[in-house]
Amino acid sequence: MRKPKVLLSWSSGKDSAWALHVLRQRGEVEVVGLVTTINEAFDRVAMHGVRAELVEAQARAAELPLWRVPLPWPCSNDDYENRMRALIETARAAGVTAFAFGDLFLADIRAYRERQLAGTGLEPLFPVWGTPDDTPSLARAMIGAGFRATLACVDPRQLSPTFAGREFDMDLLADLPPGVDPCGERGEFHTFCHVGPIFTTPVEVRRGDVVERDGFWFADLLPEPGSH
């Protein structure tokens, strides 16, 4: 029997990368594509602010097609849901039967995704789901497994902007203030994953300017010259 075909929601960060790692290790489904919402106005990943060309490089390194979902700017919730519905129709026509997410423990986010997929024919999957108590060991497991990521976005209401552009490593975990989730699951920070066992080759990046936009701090990650 053929394995069920699954799309994976791909933010470009470590949690998405870990979810792909887990799904591949379990071997119960076939991940057939990475789904990324792209801000049409800036050609960057929605929320994370990562350049679309870097996400395309990730997809090539993971040997998976990138399913881009273009979003207008500004983007209303209706706009978002309409674009996602169109994606789901395309996925069903391609024989996809499930949609996986790298959510860790936020029950309201999980419930929203389940509502959005209800009645669509696509089953929601949460391969790395756990509790807030799991994330300290999960963060260490990611680093121990060889994943490397850079903090691309920081919410200054929860974490100092000085963390923008830092590497997600053991030193960073040690420096996080009490109350900040080690995986940034409450939106404290977002990452860009550039090395890991899911990739055939590293996605070479360097840090550009760190800037404030719309109340968040972003480290502009740039492709290394000559990298593809």
Q: Cα 111 to the chain's mean position, in Å?
A: 18
pLDDT value for 40:
82
Q: Cα 128 to the chain's mean position, in Å?
A: 13
pLDDT value for 226:
61
pLDDT value for 228:
52
Are 122 and 92 in contact by the 8 Å Cβ rule? The answer is yes
Break the chain into its structural domains and give their ranges: 5-223
Does the predicted TM-score (pTM) go above 0.75? yes
pLDDT value for 33:
98
Name the CATH architecture for the domain at 5-223. 3-Layer(aba) Sandwich (3.40)
**Token pair for 117:** 């997929």
pLDDT value for 227:
54
CA separation for the pair 159, 145 (Å, rounded): 26
**Mean pLDDT for each consecutive 10-residue tract of the chain (228 residues)?**
94 97 97 94 85 96 95 82 91 96 95 94 96 96 98 97 97 97 96 98 95 94 76
